[in-house]
Amino acid sequence: MLNYLKGSSSSDKQIFVGEAIGSDDSQILINVKNPFQVGDKLELITPERDFTFVLEDLLDEEKIAVSEARGSGYKVWIDLPKKVNCKNALLVKCL
């Protein structure tokens, strides 16, 4: 829920974890904003539609396998849940 007094939004169901900043044929490069890890249930929000999936693999910016994205300042690659246009896509973690 958006809180105008705090100047932020909060939810007890989801947390914003990153935004898409690039992609290739099968993966999306995420600019991480909040931590998430392999095994988390995530939702990719795109202008066309949303995709919910469980994160199975995570790669750092150099495409080396890691188990978690530690937070702001990191960039990671995740597999695309489906063939989708990732421009302006956001990533949230389901709580």
Partnered with residue 2 across adjacent β-strands are 9
The predicted-structure confidence for 7-19, as pLDDT tens digits, reads as follows 445 567 999 999 9
Phi-psi region of 39 (alpha: psi -120 to 50; beta: other; left: phi over 0): left
d(CA 5, CA 28): 34
Tokens of 11: 């939810």
**Arithmetic mean of pLDDT, 70-83:** 90
DSSP 13-71: SEEEEEEEEEE-SSEEEEEESS-EETT-EEEEE-SS-EEEEE----EETTS-B-SEE-S
pLDDT of residue 2: 39
pLDDT of residue 10: 55
Question: Closest Cα to residue 78, out of 11, 3, 51, 8?
Answer: 51
The predicted-structure confidence for 17-59, as pLDDT tens digits, reads as follows 999 999 988 899 999 999 999 999 999 999 888 999 999 999 9
